[in-house]
Amino acid sequence: SGDLALISRLLYCLELCREIVRDHEPHGDLFEALIDYLQRLDAGQAGPTSLIAFELKALECAGFRPRFNACSLCEGAIDDDPSFDTAHGGVVCRRCSHRVPQNFRVSKTLIDAFVKLQEGARVPWGPEQRGQGRALLDRFIAYQLGRKLKSAEFMDQLGVD
pLDDT interval class at 46 (50, 70, 90): confident
With beta carbons less than 8 A apart as the criterion, state whether 8 and 157 touch: no
**pLDDT of the residue at 37:** 94
24: alpha, beta or left, given left = phi > 0 and alpha = psi -120 to 50?
A: left
**pLDDT of the residue at 1:** 55
Q: What is the pLDDT of residues 133-153, one digit of tens each?
A: 999 999 999 999 999 999 998
* Residue 155, pLDDT above cutoff 80: yes
**pLDDT of the residue at 33:** 95
Q: What is the pLDDT of residues 55-113, one digit of tens each?
A: 999 999 999 999 999 999 999 999 999 999 999 999 999 999 999 988 899 999 999 99
The DSSP-derived string for 131-154 is HHHHHHHHHHHHHHHTS--HHHHH
Sign of CA dihedral 133, 43, 37, 18: negative
